[in-house]
Amino acid sequence: MNNQQNEYIDRLISIREKQAEIWKEQLMLEIRIHCKFLPQNFNHLEDFISSIGYLPLNNNAKVIEIKNKRFKIIQEAKRHWLNYFLNIYEIKIREYEQQYQNEFIKLESLFSNNNDNMINDTTM
């Protein structure tokens, strides 16, 4: 193999390694979701949504209702965030796959051209 072919192979390996790292991160997130142990940044959502410490104390039913609504809003926001993160992983994986396919086609073309040149050289 020549240097150019080795460079293509190195790029293919590098792309697969980057793609594997994304797969690993995605798998870790999915495992954390399954175990209900989300990354710390998901807990910051609770800081963004107003605290409810100022509620009147004389209406327990209303306090419970508002706390439940706040909890549901936080849970829904976490679901949206999780979907967003998982979609980003999928997009990155597809991008690396496309890069890999493009480089692979170039390598095939290079091998094909080299084979054609070798055939032409031997027939002359």
CB atoms within 10 A of CB 81: 16
pLDDT at 76 over 80: yes
- What does DSSP assign to residue 52? -
For the whole model, what pTM was predicted?
A: 0.74
Query: What percent of the chain shows pLDDT beyond 90?
Result: 56
Q: With bands split at pLDDT 50, 70 and 90, how would you rate the model's confidence at 56? A: low
**What is the pLDDT at residue 70?**
87
- DSSP H helices in 1-124: 3-34, 40-43, 45-48, 60-123
- Measured in degrees and rounded to the nearest 5, phi and psi for residue 43 equal -75, -20
What are the tens digits of pLDDT across the range 101-118?
999 999 999 888 876 666
pLDDT at 14 over 70: yes
